[in-house]
Structure 1
Amino acid sequence: MDAQNLDWISVGKISDLPEGRVKTVTARTTSICLSHFDGQWAAMDNHCPHQGGPLGEGSIERGSDGKCWIRCPWHGWDFDPISGTPPGGHEDTGQKLYPLKIEAEEIFIGLEPEPERERTVSDVMAETMVNWGVKRVFGMVGHSNLGLAEALRNQVNKGALGYVGIRHEGAAAFAASAYGKLTGKPAACLTIAGPGATNLLTGLWDAKVDRAPVLALTGQVQTQVFGPGAFQDIDLKSAFEAVSRFSQPVLPSSNHAELMSLALKNALVERDVSNLIFPDDVQTIPSDAPARGPEGRLGRTDVSPAAADLEDAARMINEAKRPVIVLGYGAIEVREQIIAFAEKIGAPVMTTFKGKGLIPDTHQNAAGVLGRSGTPIASWFMNEADLIIALGSSFSNHTGIAPYKPIIQVDFERMQLGKFHAVTLPVWSELSAFCGSLMPKVGKAPGADDQIAENVERWQIWRDEKEMRLAEHRGQGIHSAALFKALTDVCPQDAVIPVDVGNNTYSFGRYFEPRGQRILMSGYLGSIGFALPAALGAWCATQDSDEFKGRKVISISGDGGFGQYAMEFTTAVKYGMNITHILLNNGELGKISKEQKAGEWPVWETSLTNPSFSAFARLCGGHGVRVTEADQLHDALSEAFAHKGPSLVEVMTDADLV
């Protein structure tokens, strides 16, 4: 082809390759052996015809006649860099040569224009994903998902998808889970067959038990070697059966757009995990089938309460002298309506730990978190209550809702009503419909106690107690109460805060006073290591969703949790994620030590050997600071929050002061 009709692709500068050397370069997707010898430059196919050895990793060898040869590093085959032929001139074993030119000390390789790419099964399914509203994929590209990865790459290039390449597939699943918890919309996670797929399982279980929509896209070996035990061949459908609501292999005869539509419908409607298994050979099958979307596939979700239930609920509320509301994570979309309802009936609002932050602690009705990670304010009102109104709560044993008191429980899922024990009045309804229908029918009962005034007193008692705890100091690290007091003072009010598991989380529940921040956690699975991968997912949500646009992401963990996925800090650096990670470093698995002591066990194998995590953050290319004194906290946190990119605040804490 005429040189003017070629695409000239830059592969580097002449200074990149000294005289007498060869190297591998890539022009578009073509791997090329570039050579520089005797003042000449040449480019040939990089794959040796013997066994595909990379010629660019070989060497320039000069024969006895002074002629130069490129020698393959695997088995020593030689090729003339000018003609591409081996010694003896056998053209059938020679190498393809590529036109080369140098302009302004930059090297260009001439390639024929790319033909229009043939549409594949993977393209149909990737386009269907986009049509259903999937905006983000977390994953790792590998040998058994390359066809699917190419289809995703095309959508990324069109601006229809965002992609984050992670360091461990478990982080991809946690990131997708956090994304689903925050937005209510599914993100996808991409892996290869075998170990790549199984690495997803912990994060997918987190999504499943916390009801977050997630789409898992797993590569698989070729269909012809299913079963007999090929490399990385495991029964993925069985492996994912328990964790997914929908799991199917993608076969040549599948209705591919329909299969992806069903997977996403299950993820959205059931708020669960869907898994599609892509055999390697099926991914690249040509297809001209149309993509699909959600039109005509999703109905309205309104569930109104029965009239009799409304009358019974109104009577119970209007007669109660000390009603309280337990606000669970399931109420997140209607929290403002519920707060208005609480104001009308004069009820304190306590949240489950998963629901922390759904009502700001500065609100006059807010009574803090109920349960093991909670405040004495909430437990006091629970003890004094004569009616509990549970909205969006699933009655976890960690929450501690008193089962012996009169309870009105409202949920749009009938199986959640009275799931663990009988309640006085189970109401099947969407929460907004319940509160909206009940508002005209209820008010504060005559002679009811002034619980709002009591709430002010209880908060003062608790804040005085926290101030006294700040005085505790054993010279072995900062009190976690001091950290979370400082965080309360300087944290942006609209921040998204993924938290981990352990004493750091219990302290966060007790001491941090939310002012409107959104909290994310591994609720029912309680998986250590959740926070940092969740921060990746949350940051992506701030890029993809108008609701969360521009919000600061602040993740919190102990040293044990951070160590699980520490290298994902480099992922945050790679993509310029504006994330701050607060790391409580006490040199041990403090919660486990505490449990061993409480059970009168000896403390055993809970100590940790740690590097300087702040130095690690700097080595990764982020901002890192180490805090050893409480009076350094405000400045360290503020500086980290102001940093435009990934930052880490390492706080040296006392394992016993939680």
Structure 2
Amino acid sequence: MTAPSTQWFRVAALDELPEGRVKTVVAGHKSLALTHYHDQYGALDNRCPHQGGPLGEGAIENGLLRCPWHGWDYCPLTGKPPGNLAVDDALETFPVEVRTDGIYVELPDEAPHLRTITDVMAETMVNWGITHVFGMVGHSNLGLADALRRQEQQGKLTFIGIRHEGAGAFAASAYAKLTGKPAACLTIAGPGATNLLTGLWDAKVDRAPILALTGQVNSQVLGTGNFQECDLAAAFSGVAAWSSTVLSHSQHAELMTLAIKHALLERDVSHLIFPDEIQTQPAAEKAKASNPTGRITPLQIAPPPDSLASAVEHLKQAKRPVIIVGHGARFNMPAVIALAERLHAPVLTTFKGKGQISDRHPLGCGVLGRSGTPIASWFMNEADLLLVFGASFSNHTGIYPGKPIIQVDFDPLALGKFHPVTVPVWGEISIVVEQLKVALEGKTQTTDQRAEVAERWALWRAEKQRREADDRGNGVNSASIFAAMTRQIPGNAVISVDVGNNTYSFGRYFECEAQSVLMSGYLGSIGFGFPGAMGAWAAAGHERPIVSVSGDGGFGQYMGDFNTAVKYDMNIAHILLNNSQLGKISKEQRAGEWEVWQTSLHNPNFSNYAEICGGFGLRVTQKAALDDAIAQALAYKGPVIVEIIADPELI
């Protein structure tokens, strides 16, 4: 019989462990308690057999190694308990050699990795095209994390370890908003999982596909009030379109496939719960990972003929139609713009749709609503028909229900959701647009409104220039900040914006060329801006500049994850408007004739903070320095904070 092969590992220097002491060392993947007692060294299994206590964190007292968790004693060299205690309680020991260059321990060669349930599920994830996971590795997800590590080792997956799970969920949401494809986020049980909820709700209400992977306590202690136990199925029931717990005899590849299918087809949140012990259980001998072949249908559904015919008739009669595009139309804009050009129709966007048509386009009119331009609202008021693609009709957008409206959406429940519309059209936008173009060929009599668009832009740009001159001596005005951003930010950039006065000013003043804009739209969650930029960087950071914009209140929510950006060398230029208050709330308190109360903020010097974290920081206090600072930030290779001291009144 051939003796098992072994390997020697150097685990400590000769002077590293004093007499009478113990420490934890690692040999390969094996954790050991290395002891030094009576001029001899011992190497013991580091795990106490009773409660799993780490013996290397214990102490040698009265000649015995004491477990730090419950005080059980062992001989520090032989691993045997004292007296006549059960031999079964003895620790496994390993040969030790003291050599000229250090202390060595001999271990048997590690057994080959046995494919696990979570290996099958991780393989299925990457087969379905999930390439990024944002998360935090912890004690109740270690088996799943190891399966993800193996996929990353093979170059099939990128894991980004974040500092707060909420930032991870926002990053995954932003990734999905930009690409239309799901990313995943990983957490432990209990508080790690519940920290995801805000970011998941953001994804849900903005129709962004996302996959949440949460650890859970062992199945046998569920329901007993175990440490960090939380009823995750109940906690996620409101936010997840689909949720399931992974069990020993589940169809594991099928569960992952169903999770991803629900996320993709419903453009929503899917959730899988992984009890701790399940994660390392061996997969069935012939278990195969799943993939999307034959499992998913194209989504380009055509509209009902009657709805399309009614829409065509209304467009034939229209003289001054206007097109309004929301976030749902973002992947179909070339076709929408071609239709607009055929109809001579001005194109307005919702705030979530900002940038989907260039503000330089002869028919582009900017944002409609509270975060918008007077150009967009003027053309809506002058229109005789509104053709709306992929918009939610939020009250912040202000689409006037008294106008004749043709609404197009892939979701039949979104049609006429808040009030009746003239013609609801259920269909995929790309198909509806193409069918409208064909049906309307040579049959419209619309007014060419390009000259009016140019006139309204000239009036608004003149007004913006007048506002740039405002100076109360209390910081830089918003018109100047966003004018400088308009001049400096490349047309192919992705811009992630936060919530607050900075956001309203961005919508109003920044002129888009071809930038993609990401935001927490329907949820309107403060803190989205910088984590959203991390998600954008993961999706497109190697091809496109990534910029984020926030106020001091928003950045303060997840500023710890600036360290994540430094760790992964993310090229993110963060424009931070510091007015030392929650300016939007102060404004609302004054508007409601309340006292302004508890909206002031105590801030660090954020540019110094960037430097402390290992990034680059710039501080701007004068309008004249804006362009140079933003240009420096965009040229820097790595994460940057441009802190601008902003006037809270000049927004």
1:604 paired to 2:597: yes
Distance 1:257 1:55, change over 3 A: closer
Distance 1:527 1:14, change over 3 A: farther
Deviation at 1:89, TM superposition (A): 13
| Cα shift readout 1:535-577 (whole Å, capped 9, x = no counterpart) | 221111126xxxxx42121111111111111111111112222
Relative to structure 2, which stretch is displaced further, 12-21 or 144-153?
12-21
| Cα shift readout 1:363-397 (whole Å, capped 9, x = no counterpart) | 11110000000001101111111111111112111
1:184 paired to 2:180: yes
Deviation at 1:107, TM superposition (A): 7.1
Residue of structure 2 equivalent to 1:481? 479
**AA at the equivalent of 1:431:** I
Residue of structure 2 equivalent to 1:546? none
**AA at the equivalent of 1:25:** V
Residue of structure 1 equivalent to 2:94? 97
Residue of structure 2 equivalent to 1:25? 25
Relative to structure 2, which stretch is displaced further, 124-133 or 525-534?
124-133
* Correspondence list, 1:372-391, <5 A: 372-391=370-389
Relative to structure 2, which stretch is displaced further, 600-609 or 14-23?
14-23
| Cα shift readout 1:443-468 (whole Å, capped 9, x = no counterpart) | 69887544101111111111111111
**In 2: Cα distance, 1:10 partner to 1:571 partner:** 33
3-state SS, counterpart of residue 560 of structure 1 = helix
**In 1: Cα distance, 2:445 partner to 2:150 partner:** 67
**AA at the equivalent of 1:155:** Q
| Cα shift readout 1:33-86 (whole Å, capped 9, x = no counterpart) | 45689999775544567866545456789x9xxxx99887775957556x6678
Deviation at 1:222, TM superposition (A): 1.7
Distance 1:322 1:101, change over 3 A: farther
Distance 1:58 1:277, change over 3 A: closer
**In 1: Cα distance, 2:438 partner to 2:258 partner:** 41
| Cα shift readout 1:151-195 (whole Å, capped 9, x = no counterpart) | 222222222221112122111211111111111111111112222
**In 1: Cα distance, 2:263 partner to 2:605 partner:** 41
| Cα shift readout 1:388-438 (whole Å, capped 9, x = no counterpart) | 111111211111111111111112222222221112222222222222122
Residue of structure 1 equivalent to 2:502? 504
Conserved? CA contact 1:303–1:433, under 8 Å: yes
Residue of structure 2 equivalent to 1:258? 254
Conserved? CA contact 2:253–2:290, under 8 Å: yes
Distance 1:425 1:29, change over 3 A: same
Deviation at 1:269, TM superposition (A): 0.4
Distance 1:184 1:110, change over 3 A: farther
Residue of structure 1 equivalent to 2:532? 534
**In 1: Cα distance, 2:449 partner to 2:329 partner:** 22
Residue of structure 2 equivalent to 1:249? 245
**AA at the equivalent of 2:558:** Y
Deviation at 1:347, TM superposition (A): 1.0
2:644 aligns with one of 631, 648, 651: 651
Structure 1: segments with no counterpart, 5+ residues: 544-548
| Cα shift readout 1:71-116 (whole Å, capped 9, x = no counterpart) | 87775957556x667899999746623555768x687655432211
Residue of structure 2 equivalent to 1:637? 630
**In 1: Cα distance, 2:81 partner to 2:383 partner:** 90
3-state SS, counterpart of residue 504 of structure 2 = helix
Distance 1:239 1:587, change over 3 A: same
**In 1: Cα distance, 2:123 partner to 2:262 partner:** 18
3-state SS, counterpart of residue 555 of structure 1 = strand
Deviation at 1:594, TM superposition (A): 0.3
**AA at the equivalent of 1:337:** A
**In 1: Cα distance, 2:261 partner to 2:289 partner:** 15
2:215 aligns with one of 212, 219, 222: 219
Question: What is the alpha-carbon root mean square deviation over aligned residues?
Answer: 3.0
1:613 paired to 2:611: no
**In 2: Cα distance, 1:402 partner to 1:486 partner:** 33
Distance 1:54 1:314, change over 3 A: closer
1:555 aligns with one of 548, 558, 569: 548
**In 1: Cα distance, 2:453 partner to 2:241 partner:** 43
Conserved? CA contact 2:301–2:427, under 8 Å: yes
Deviation at 1:328, TM superposition (A): 1.0
**AA at the equivalent of 2:533:** A
Conserved? CA contact 1:79–1:94, under 8 Å: no
Deviation at 1:24, TM superposition (A): 3.0
1:138 paired to 2:134: yes
Residue of structure 2 equivalent to 1:160? 156
Structure 2: segments with no counterpart, 5+ residues: none
**AA at the equivalent of 2:645:** M
Q: What is the total number of aligned residue pairs between the two structures?
A: 646
Conserved? CA contact 2:73–2:82, under 8 Å: no
Residue of structure 2 equivalent to 1:175? 171
1:120 paired to 2:116: yes
Deviation at 1:350, TM superposition (A): 0.8
Give the TM-score of the pair, scaled to structure 2.
Answer: 0.91
3-state SS, counterpart of residue 334 of structure 2 = helix
1:303 aligns with one of 301, 320, 323: 301
Distance 1:109 1:643, change over 3 A: farther
Residue of structure 2 equivalent to 1:395? 393
3-state SS, counterpart of residue 282 of structure 1 = helix
Residue of structure 1 equivalent to 2:568? 575
1:268 aligns with one of 250, 261, 264: 264
**In 2: Cα distance, 1:374 partner to 1:2 partner:** 78
Distance 1:109 1:580, change over 3 A: farther
Conserved? CA contact 1:85–1:94, under 8 Å: yes
* Correspondence list, 1:235-384, <5 A: 235-288=231-284, 289-384=287-382
Q: Percent identity?
A: 59
3-state SS, counterpart of residue 559 of structure 2 = coil
**AA at the equivalent of 1:233:** E
Give the TM-score of the pair, scaled to structure 1.
Answer: 0.90
**In 2: Cα distance, 1:170 partner to 1:102 partner:** 49
Conserved? CA contact 1:3–1:110, under 8 Å: no
Distance 1:33 1:636, change over 3 A: farther
| Cα shift readout 1:193-251 (whole Å, capped 9, x = no counterpart) | 22221111111111111111111111122222222322222221111111111111112
Conserved? CA contact 2:41–2:96, under 8 Å: no
Conserved? CA contact 2:47–2:54, under 8 Å: yes
Distance 1:419 1:86, change over 3 A: closer
Relative to structure 2, which stretch is displaced further, 32-41 or 444-453?
32-41
**In 2: Cα distance, 1:14 partner to 1:488 partner:** 62
Distance 1:322 1:283, change over 3 A: same
**In 2: Cα distance, 1:48 partner to 1:292 partner:** 40
| Cα shift readout 1:336-379 (whole Å, capped 9, x = no counterpart) | 11111111111111100000010111111110000000001101
Conserved? CA contact 1:496–1:538, under 8 Å: yes
Distance 1:447 1:120, change over 3 A: closer
**AA at the equivalent of 1:569:** F
1:591 aligns with one of 584, 590, 596: 584
Distance 1:70 1:252, change over 3 A: closer
